[in-house]
Structure formats: C-alpha cells, structure tokens
Amino acid sequence: MGVTTSRNRHLVELVVTVAAALFFALAIQAYAVKPYVIPSESMLPTLHVGQRLLVDRFSHRIGNAPKIGDITVFMPPAGAESGGDQCGARGEGPSNDGRASRRACSRPTPGAGPRAFVKRVVGLPGDVITVTNGHVIRNGRRAAEPFAAPCGGGPECNLEAIIVPPGHYFLMGDNRGNSDDSRYWGPVPRSQIIGKAVVTYWPPDRIGTD
C-alpha cells in the first residue's frame, strides 16, 4: 500500500506540474508574448513570407506607446483586405483621379478587419506625413529608412500631406511598391495595435531581433 500511495502521489504531482506549466504558457501567450507568421511580401526585404516572429503584447498593455521604426502587429481597419472603400472620411482616398500622387486618408473605416497585419510605424500622433518616391517625409524631414525597398514609380509612391490624428499611428510596409498600408486606409487607432515584434525565430538562418 505504501508503494502504491507513493506512486499515486507522484502521479498527481506530475499532473499538477504539467497543468501549471500549460497554464503559464497559455497566459504568457495571451498577455505577454505571442507568435505570428508573416503572410505576405509587404515587409520585404526585412521580413519574408512564412517567417515567424514573437510579438511583445505586454508592454503595450501597460501603457508603452509605439515608437518610430517599430515593426508592429495590429488589426487593420475594416475593409483593408477587400481593396474597396477603405477610407472612413468622405471625399478622401483611395482614388487618384489621374494624379501622380495618392490622396491621403485622414480617418480609417471604423472597426477592425479579421486578420492581423505586420507593418512598420512611420508616423506618430500629431505628425505631418507625406510620401515622395516611396520615402517618408515626417514633419518636413526625410526619414532615415535603410530598410525600405524601392517603390517603383507608381502613384502609390507619392502621398499628399496628412496630419496623424490623436491616438493614431501611420503604418507602412518596407516593400513600398507592394504594401497595403496607411497610404490606402489611413492611420490606425492605438486600440487596434497588438504589440511590437521583438525577435524572429524561424527559419533558423533568419533568427534575430528586428
């Protein structure tokens, strides 16, 4: 009886230990760090399709604000995936009307899309943002963007001036000629930003920080 009781006790301890480990793993994923997979080419050459990264969700939950240059995971505005009427402000974007630059969208369509996007923060609340030949001009000064791929010369490479509203952030992909981002659907509300990408963990040859 003594041996059986000891084995049962060890079995209970093992089950409790595994359950506790599983609980803490799920808690960490839900509130602190969560993995995401890059779904498109919009962040080339920095991030490739299928590359996996870990996102810090906790710091945003305790009040840390996104910063210029952060690679950010967020829920895009409603309609961002459809390619249709993506702007929430009447008379703004996405039409070019034959012009060489896009008309800026100052307010996104209300609500969030069904799938998370990954883009880079290029504009903070109150910033004046324009885009010239694919390069961000922030508050009148060209941003340092060694990570950005050439845009290619289409109307998406130039954006009229926009003032980023309070509580919003202007997000763009590094692949400036092939990225559905704030040029099309406007700045993103802070409430829809999930967190900052802190490290890539797959494939092995691309492990590292952003």
Which one of 40, 59, 106, 119 is the catalytic residue?
119
- Is 42 catalytic? The answer is yes
Is the per-residue pLDDT at 195 higher than 80? yes
Is the per-residue pLDDT at 158 higher than 60? yes
Contacts 24+ apart (CB under 8 A), 198-204: 198/33, 198/53, 198/54, 198/55, 198/56, 199/53, 199/54, 200/47, 200/51, 200/52, 200/53, 200/54, 201/35, 201/52, 201/53, 201/54, 202/51, 202/52, 203/50, 203/51
Residue 134 has a pLDDT of: 95
Q: What is the set of domains in the chain, with CATH numbers?
A: 32-206 (2.10.109.10)
Which one of 6, 34, 40, 42 is the catalytic residue?
42
pLDDT digits (tens, 9 = 90+) for 52-77: 998 888 766 666 899 999 999 999 98
Taking the model in full, what pTM does it have?
0.80
Residue 99 has a pLDDT of: 58
Is the per-residue pLDDT at 19 higher than 50? no
Residue 104 has a pLDDT of: 85
Is the per-residue pLDDT at 127 higher than 70? yes
